[in-house]
Amino acid sequence: MNYSFVIPVYNSEETLEKLIFEISKNIKVYSQSYEIILIDDCSNDGSHKKLKELKRKNKKIKLFRNKFNLGQHKSIQIGLKKTKGKKIFIMDCDLQDDPKYFSNFINKYNKKKNTVVGLANKKSYRKGIFSYIFWSILDFVSNKKFHLNITNFTLIHSTEVKKIIKTKNFIFLYGELIINDIKIDFINITKKKRKNGVSAYNFIKCLLIGLNILKKYL
């Protein structure tokens, strides 16, 4: 298996068919050997029904569902444990991570064989003032580079995945890359506008995640 895609899903019924179509269209340029691993994080809309329908039509899809809502990054860890590909893309499910960038990720990876992470340009990925302050403080006090506009859009080799899936307290994908001393290259991307719904990260959830990040990664 050449490529695996790990995608946590939560209440994204309207975007899933388009997402699978775009992934398949863009990766087929590089390989026909791939799998799409979808982790339904206990969605309460019609996402799971839609995922089962897509799975029946597409043998590349592997579908799993959490018994409880575990959060985006824990779902990523679960998905990574199920991959068989040599190289793994990690993406969001809401079409903000555009599959057209696969070529940029792959070309960057082929230069040094380092993990590649997307950095969203500021116009397409504006964070609130509290988020800006938090990430700036974390970047300063941790003596590690926590970019303000870091995304989950990542290309990583299976040998590196083995290093980060063992942790018992998987809070934040990029944080796991950092503390496991994984070499990272960055590419600039433009985040698409969210097609449907709003972010699941409200102020309280962001605050709790932030405190856990500070405890673990400092």
Per-residue pLDDT tens for 84-101?
999 999 999 999 999 999
Assign 3-class secondary structure to the chain.
Answer: CCEEEEEEECCCCCCHHHHHHHHHHHHCCCCCCEEEEEEECCCCCCHHHHHHHHHHHCCCEEEEECCCCCCHHHHHHHHHHCCCCCEEEECCCCCCCCHHHHHHHHHHHHHHCCEEEEEECCCCCCCCHHHHHHHHHHHHHHCCCCCCCEEEEEEEEHHHHHHHCCCCCCCCHHHHHHHCCCCEEEEEECCCCCCCCCCCCCHHHHHHHHHHHHHHHC
| Mean pLDDT computed over 143-154 | 79
> Which of 45-49, 95-99, 191-195, 213-217 shows the lowest mean pLDDT across its residues?
213-217
Q: Which pLDDT value is given to residue 188?
A: 95
42 pLDDT above the threshold of 90: yes
153 pLDDT above the threshold of 70: yes
The pTM of the full predicted model, rounded to 2 decimals, is 0.88
